[in-house]
Amino acid sequence: MKLPLFSLGSMAGTSSGSVYLSHQERRLKQQRLKALEQREHFLAELQRQKAAHLDKVCRLQRELNQRQRQVEQLRQELKEERENGQNKLQAELREAQRKMKAVEERHKEEMERMQKMLQYRLAEQKPMDVGSAIGDASAAASSEEASSPQPEEPRVSSLPCSGQEPDQLCQDGENQGLEQLRSVVSVADPKQKYTGWKFIGSGGFGTVYKAFDAATGQAVAIKKLDLQQQGCEQVKKEILVMREMKNPNIVTYLESYLANEAVWLVLEYMDGGSLAMVILMKTMAVGHIATVCQECLRGLAFLHANNIIHRDIKSGNILLGLDGSVKLADFGSCALLTPEQSKRRSMVGTTCWMAPEVVRRDPYGPKVDIWSLGIVGIEMAKGEAPYIWEISSKATYLISTQGIPHLEELSLHPGLCEFLGCCLQMDVDRRGSAKELLKHPFLKLAKPLFGLF
C-alpha cells in the first residue's frame, strides 16, 4: 500500500529534526560538564589558595609570637642589666671610696713619718768634720742610722752636752750644714742661666721643672729641694753621690744652686718620662720588661760595687729616654756603706716597694734594691705593686710576714716569673745580687724600647 507523499516527507523531516535536537543536547550537556569541571577546578584552586593563605597567616602568627617572646626576653635582660649595672656602679663607688680612704690614711701616715724624720734630723744634727766629699756624706749617713731600731724618733739623749738651749743647738747645726752645703753648690739664682721653665711634677722628693740652658739651648730637668723638709746633710749626700757616680744607667748630674732657702739640682732631661707614667698608660710587653730590668740591674750593680744602696727603687724613680735609655734617679734616700758599717737598719723608702728586712728593721745591705726591682717587675706586668691599696700599717705587716702574693697566682710569663722569684726571696741569702741576675736567661728576651712610646 502506498502512502501519501506528504506523509513520507513529514516523517523524513521529523527524523532529521530529532537528530538535530539530540546533537544539540549533547553539545549543551558537554558544555555544562565542561563548565562544571572548570568551576570545580576554580573552586579547588580557591581552596588551595585559601589553605596557603591560612598556612601563611599561621606562620606569621608563630613568628609574631616568637618575636614577642624575644622582645619580652630582651626587655627582661635589659631590666636585669640595668639592675646589675646599678649594683656594679654602687660596688665600684664603694670600692673607690675605700681606696680613697686608704690613700688618705697612707698620705696622713707618710706626713706624720716625714714630720718625725724632720724632728729627728733637727735633734740629731751634729758638726761634720771637713774632709773628702763622699767621706763626709758617708759619715753623716752613718751617724743618722747608727744603731737605733727607730731612727725616725728624736732621741733627746743624743744632743751634745752644752749649756745652750736645744733650739739654739739646732740653729747652729743648720748654719754649719748650710756652710758645708755651700762648698758643693753654686750660690746663685738658676733662673739667670736657665729659661723657659715648665712644671713637670712634684712629690715627697721635691718639685721638678723642665728648662733650657740660655747659652746652649739644651733641655734640662731642675729639681727643687726644700732644705727645711729634707735637711742639709741629706741634700748634700744626694748631690755628692750623683756628682761622683757617673754611669750610663744613672741620671747625669750637671750642677746645683743654693737660692731662696732651697737647693736646685740641674740634671739631664729624660724625654721619655718616668716608668710609672708608661705603666699607667699601657700594658708592657715581656721584651720591654726584660730591657728595663736589665738596664736597672746594670745601674744597681754599679752602685752596689761602689758601696751605695739606693733604697727607693720604684717605677717613679726610673726614667726613660726616647732613645731607649733607662736610668735610675732620685738619690735622696740612698745609703753609703763603709767598712765600719756594712749594714743599715733604718726604715727608709716607699712602703710597698720595701724589702721585708727593711720593714722589720733588721740589718740589711744592697739586696734590698733587688727586692724593690722585683716589685717594679710586678708593676710592669700587672699595672700596680702588691698591697698598693692597703693602708700603710697593713701593707707593712703583710710584707714583713708574707712578702708578696704567690707569683703563680699572678699569671705571669714563665721566664718573668722565674726571674722575679730570684728577686723576691724572703731569705736574703737566696736572693740574687745585681751581678748574678744580669746573667739570668730571662734578660735574653730584652728588646729595644722604641716601640714603647
> Mean pLDDT throughout 360-364?
94
Signed CA dihedral, 45, 51, 57, 63: sign only: negative
- Compare 123 and 211 and report the one with higher pLDDT: 211
Question: pLDDT band for position 417 (50/70/90)?
Answer: very high
> Mean pLDDT throughout 269-281?
93
Per domain, the residue ranges of the chain are 22-110, 133-268, 273-452
Q: Is the pLDDT of residue 101 over 80?
A: no
346 contact partners, CB below 8 Å, separation of at least 6? 144, 145, 151, 152, 335, 361
The C-alpha cell at 211 is 728648662
Measured distance CA(350)–CA(333) in Å, rounded: 10
Name the nearest CA neighbour of 176 among 223, 140, 226: 140
Report pTM.
0.65
Q: With contact defined as beta carbons under 8 Å apart, do 404 and 424 qualify?
A: yes
Give the pLDDT confidence score for residue 409 in this predicted structure.
86
The two domains 133-268 and 273-452 share their CATH topology (first three levels equal) = no
Alpha carbon 275 to its chain's center? 9
Name the nearest CA neighbour of 404 among 450, 355, 338: 355
Question: pLDDT band for position 154 (50/70/90)?
Answer: very low
Give the pLDDT confidence score for residue 161 in this predicted structure.
34
Alpha carbon 451 to its chain's center? 18
> Mean pLDDT throughout 365-373?
97
Name the nearest CA neighbour of 125 among 173, 181, 182, 179: 173
The CA–CA distances, whole Å, from 163 to 2, 112, 157, 344 equal 192, 31, 14, 33
Task: List, as residue ranges, the binding site.
Answer: 224
The CA–CA distances, whole Å, from 245 to 218, 308, 344 equal 22, 10, 21
Question: Cα angle at 451 between 446 and 453, to 5 degrees?
Answer: 120
Stretch among 5-19, 146-160, 222-236, 356-370 having the lowest mean pLDDT? 146-160
- Compare 443 and 176 and report the one with higher pLDDT: 443
- Whole-number average pLDDT of the chain: 81
Give the pLDDT confidence score for residue 176 in this predicted structure.
67
Highest CATH level, class, for 133-268: alpha beta
Q: What is the DSSP letter of 160?
A: P
Task: List, as residue ranges, the binding site for ATP.
Answer: 224
Question: pLDDT band for position 15 (50/70/90)?
Answer: low
pLDDT digits (tens, 9 = 90+) for 195-240: 999 998 877 667 999 999 999 999 999 999 988 777 888 888 899 9
Residues acting as catalytic residues: 312
pLDDT digits (tens, 9 = 90+) for 69-91: 888 888 888 888 787 777 777 87
Give the pLDDT confidence score for residue 201 in this predicted structure.
83
Q: With contact defined as beta carbons under 8 Å apart, do 197 and 191 qualify?
A: yes
The C-alpha cell at 422 is 730570684
Question: pLDDT band for position 452 (50/70/90)?
Answer: confident
The CA–CA distances, whole Å, from 315 to 96, 199, 263, 279, 326 equal 23, 20, 24, 8, 11
Give the pLDDT confidence score for residue 156 in this predicted structure.
29
> Mean pLDDT throughout 292-310?
97
Measured distance CA(302)–CA(366) in Å, rounded: 11
116 contact partners, CB below 8 Å, separation of at least 6? 152, 153, 154
125 contact partners, CB below 8 Å, separation of at least 6? 170, 173, 174, 176, 177, 231, 233
Sequential DSSP letters for 280-308: HH-PPPHHHHHHHHHHHHHHHHHHHHTTE
CATH 1.10.510.10 fits 273-452, yes or no: yes
Give the pLDDT confidence score for residue 149 in this predicted structure.
35
301 contact partners, CB below 8 Å, separation of at least 6? 433, 434, 435, 438
Give the pLDDT confidence score for residue 54 in this predicted structure.
87
Give the pLDDT confidence score for residue 35 in this predicted structure.
85
Give the pLDDT confidence score for residue 267 in this predicted structure.
96
Give the pLDDT confidence score for residue 375 in this predicted structure.
97
The CA–CA distances, whole Å, from 185 to 67, 130, 182, 188 equal 81, 16, 5, 9
Q: What's the Rg (C-alpha) of the chain?
A: 46
Task: Determine the 3-state secondary structure of 208 from DSSP.
Answer: strand
Give me the residues paired with residue 257 across strands: 186, 264
Measured distance CA(190)–CA(201) in Å, rounded: 18
| Pairing of the two strands 194-203 and 318-320 | unpaired
Q: Is the pLDDT of residue 136 over 60?
A: no
The C-alpha cell at 344 is 743599715
Q: With contact defined as beta carbons under 8 Å apart, do 219 and 269 qualify?
A: yes
Q: Is the pLDDT of residue 145 over 90?
A: no
